[in-house]
Each structure stands twice: as structure tokens, then as C-alpha cells.
């Protein structure tokens, strides 16, 4: 079908080289140890303010902050971003000023250590489902949760540059989760104009391509998606179209009949949403050719760009 549709380390302040010569000179000219000491302190104190060791990170420290979880090493170009509450900045002015976008990085790198918590079930309207899962990984151990965080952080930068207010459902700032029902509530509470849940698939080897998952019309229990089905489809179509154009990836050859669009009623993150929302499976981690793309920082930037352009197109109408 037709779719519509981004190492500088600041120098450490130098201690004044004049401290010792001036101290010696003063001590020689002014008799008395006490007076010499006083002058030493006065001269030494003007050498510049000290810099906290936490204010400047070495390259090694910066790299260590981007390290993957022990169970799943990730490529070195994953973007590590501090707690969003500590790094939040006012959105830039731009075409998306006043718009709110929630990005939902699928899974959480910490889920591996909290299987009991993520295995408990929650109500998704059409039934009950696990709070969350660990996600999939490439054959070489690059986990989906690392992939989704990296793409989501890149996507946040791009959307903020357009003026949008952007919120992530998690930014590795919690031990596990959140559960799928809470992920939906975060978007609802933000009154988001668009929500995108970022994933990568774990299908069989040989299956390739991306697909966007749309909410089905559900009205059962706590779920009622009837008002968001149409705008969510438009959001999904625009993302799919821009994803093809920017990444060069083809729509999935194993689901969606070549359209890159799939409708489902069994995902709590969609069923419980009251705002336009879609999932995107950016590729199949279990296929070696797709995995080569997913583990490339350059390609992940393209993926973020493709998703971003689709969101911008949707929000601008």
C-alpha cells in the first residue's frame, strides 16, 4: 500500500604556578613563620576554584556509563542518557511547540534480574497478560531493551529539536518495567498527542523487515480503543512510510502482507491507551541481516529519524 505521509572534555583548572615562588619570596622578605604562612594562604587561595570530580567525566567514565547489562553486551555507540528528571530541558521552539509525545522504550535492561515481578499478570481489557517480558536479543547477545532505549533517546533528541515536549515511559531509571498497563497510563496521563512504543522482533531466522502494530477496536473491561483506532492508523501509516524512505528497510515479509501494518487486540499497551498509539517492530533480531542493521549506531539513527518524521507528519496534519 502507499503510505502518507545527531568529545569535548572541559580542561581541568590549573593550580597556580606562582604559589611556590611567591611563598618563598614572601617568606624571605618577611621574617616570622606565622606571617609567611598567612601570606602563603592568601596567595595560594587566588589560584582558582576547585572543580568537583563529579563535574568532569573522563572518556573512560563516560564510556562506562554507556555499558550494557552483564547479561547482554551492547554496541559501544549506544547513547547513555542520565535520569530525565536531572537532564530535562525546556523544549526548543519549533513546529511541534505545544505538542506532547510519549516514547515507550520496550522492556527494560533490568527485567532479567526481576523475573518474578515482570511475570505477574495485569488486566489488559481482553484478558490478562504478563506485566512485562525481557524481550529478545540478537544471536550475539545484543538485547532488545538496549536497542529500544538507544533508538528512543535518539528519537527524543530529534523531536525536542522540533519543539515537542517528550516523555519516556522509562529511561533506565527504574529497576524493571514499567508494566504494560502502567505504560499505557503514562501516555494517557500526559494527554499525549502521539505515543510510540519502540521494539524489535524475535521471529525466526530468515524473516526480515519492520512492521507497525495498530490497535484493534476493543471495548471490553478497562479497554476502549474505539476513539483512537482511526488516528492511530494514520500515525502508523505515516511512520511506516517515513521508515521505508529513511532507513531503506522493507516492510515485514512474514506479517502484514507486505503493508508493514498489523492490527492486534492482545497488547495491553494499546488496549488501555486513550490517546493515539502504535508499536513499531524495527526489524527481526534473530535474522543475521536484520541484526547487522539493528546493532549499527548509524542505522539506529536512521530508524529514529524515520520514526520522528512520521510523528512530525502526523502531528502537523
φ, ψ dihedrals at 105, nearest 5°: -70, 115
- Cα Rg of the chain, angstroms: 26
Residue-wise DSSP of 271-283: HT-SS-EEEEEEE
**Residues counted in the chain:** 317
**C-alpha–C-alpha distance, residues 301 and 75, integer Å:** 13
Q: Does residue 281 carry a catalytic annotation?
A: yes
**C-alpha–C-alpha distance, residues 260 and 4, integer Å:** 13
Prior bond of 68 cis (ω within 30°): no
Bridge partners (DSSP) of residue 264 are: 215
Q: Is the dihedral of CA 231, 232, 233, 236 positive or negative?
A: positive
Among the listed residues 144, 172, 281, 309, the single catalytic one is: 281
Q: Running DSSP on this structure, what letter comes out for residue 264? A: E
Catalytic site positions: 281
Amino acid at each position: 500500500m502507499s503510505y502518507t505521509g545527531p568529545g569535548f572534555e572541559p580542561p581541568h583548572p590549573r593550580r597556580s604556578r606562582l604559589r611556590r615562588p611567591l611563598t618563598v619570596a614572601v617568606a624571605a622578605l618577611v621574617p616570622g613563620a606565622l606571617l609567611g604562612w598567612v601570606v602563603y594562604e592568601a596567595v595560594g587561595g587566588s589560584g582558582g576554584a576547585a572543580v568537583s570530580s563529579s563535574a568532569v567525566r573522563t572518556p573512560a567514565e563516560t564510556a562506562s556509563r554507556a555499558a550494557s547489562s552483564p547479561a547482554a553486551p551492547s554496541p559501544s555507540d549506544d547513547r547513555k542518557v542520565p535520569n530525565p528528571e536531572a537532564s530535562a530541558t525546556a523544549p526548543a521552539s519549533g513546529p511541534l511547540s505545544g505538542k506532547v509525545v510519549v516514547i515507550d522504550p520496550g522492556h527494560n535492561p533490568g527485567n532479567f534480574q526481576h523475573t518474578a515481578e515482570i511475570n505477574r499478570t495485569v488486566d489488559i481489557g481482553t484478558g490478562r497478560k504478563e506485566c512485562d517480558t525481557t524481550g529478545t536479543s540478537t544471536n550475539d547477545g545484543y538485547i532488545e531493551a538496549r536497542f529500544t532505549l538507544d533508538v528512543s533517546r535518539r528519537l527524543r533528541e530529534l523531536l525536542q529539536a522540533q519543539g515537542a515536549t517528550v516523555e519516556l515511559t522509562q529511561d533506565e531509571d527504574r529497576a524493571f518495567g514499567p508494566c504494560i498497563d502502567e505504560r499505557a497510563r503514562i501516555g494517557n496521563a500526559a494527554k499525549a498527542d502521539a505515543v510510540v512504543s519502540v521494539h524489535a522482533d524475535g521471529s525466526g531466522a530468515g524473516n526480515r523487515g519492520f512492521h507497525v502494530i495498530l490497535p484493534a477496536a476493543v471495548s471490553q473491561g478497562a479497554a476502549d480503543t474505539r476513539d483512537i483506532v482511526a488516528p492511530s492508523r494514520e500515525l502508523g501509516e505515516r511512520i511506516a512510510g517515513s521508515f521505508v524512505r529513511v532507513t531503506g528497510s522493507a516492510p515485514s515479509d512474514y506479517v502484514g502482507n507486505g503493508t508493514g501494518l498489523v492490527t492486534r487486540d492482545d497488547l495491553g499497551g494499546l488496549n488501555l491507551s486513550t490517546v493515539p498509539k502504535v508499536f513499531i517492530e524495527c526489524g527481526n533480531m534473530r535474522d543475521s541481516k536484520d541484526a547487522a542493521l539493528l546493532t549499527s549506531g548509524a542505522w539506529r539513527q536512521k530508524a529514529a529519524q524515520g520514526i520522528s518524521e512520521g510523528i512530525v507528519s502526523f502531528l502537523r496534519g
